[in-house]
Chains A and B, each alone.
Chain A
């Protein structure tokens, strides 16, 4: 199925990627082409087939309830573009 410009705008918003108006047309075309191509899958009958959740046949690994990390505030904020007093800082969020 082809997507239209509005749909592209909507998913770009969901993905938090700004798309400039002049890019919209080309992007819509590209995404439509890709979607049309992957739609070959529709030809294949998958009735009653379980969707794959994991390719490895094993049980979920679990850890014991032990504190073995944290207490490394410096490591955590060291790469932050903006931080103060150990907090990450972003433009004011309006609640």
Chain B
């Protein structure tokens, strides 16, 4: 009896320990961002000074990161959805190769990608959209992947044929039938793009110029200057931006699953 009871308790302890291991540093960092003096006290000496400092010195990085994140999302939808549709629906020479090439940036280290991009597009280096270009390369595959998988699972062809028989043109079929049925995949792809772009560091470190610094680069800079309390405040702002998006992705994933059960 003891072992039967013991096993769930042990599992519970392991689970709690794992969660603690993941969340405690985040909590400490958030608490530290409000603390007057690092190390001395975590909660006793409440201040918003560090937040003020971050907003005064780094608000531009937040704006740039949000701008690039939203642009990645928009461009990801405009390019990624049609590309996914083409991959899922049509057979064309070299299709498998194309698909693999599109997915490649997910596997290549950011540093290597950065070097490759710098070598290829050196003439636009220094422009703000140079960073955007890099972010598109690493985020686009997530949209294409998510939407292609959903399209393949849905057997969209019969819906499209059905719409065609009812008189719908190609464009009407795409807008009335295809897009609404992959809406969830598009939204979760877009949110994934946003979180990845917002947190992208490896590659951006090589692409950015001081004029167009992104949030993670600014964060790195603040830590590098050993201002931990400022870094903590900075991290907290980052979390506030990113956590709602992560929750939305989780929620959409769950909704997706329950919808599949209904079919």
A and B interact? no
